[in-house]
């Protein structure tokens, strides 16, 4: 993967169940930011 944009931070979180879907918790400082979610095979 190549990232050409400026990266502020890279962090790892575990996906958790939420109702009949899933969610990823992110720090409040990223509200309104554009994000990418990359799913990795364990």
In angstroms, the CA 23 to CA 18 distance is 6
Q: 12-29, pLDDT tens digit by residue?
A: 899 999 999 999 999 899
Split at pLDDT 50, 70, 90, the class of 35 is confident
| CA–CA gap between residue 16 and residue 4 (Å, rounded) | 29
Residue whose structure tokens are 């720090």:
27
Tell me the CA distances in angstroms from 1 to 4, 31, 36, one per residue in order. Answer: 10, 24, 12
Pair 15, 24: CB distance under 8 Å:
yes
Give the pLDDT score at 37. Answer: 87
Whether pLDDT at 38 is above 90: no
Residue 21 host element (H or E): strand 21-23
């Amino acid at each position: 993967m190549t990232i050409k944009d400026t990266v502020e931070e890279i962090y790892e979180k575990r996906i958790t169940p939420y109702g009949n879907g899933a969610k990823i918790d992110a720090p409040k400082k990223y509200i309104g930011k554009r994000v990418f979610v990359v799913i990795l095979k364990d």
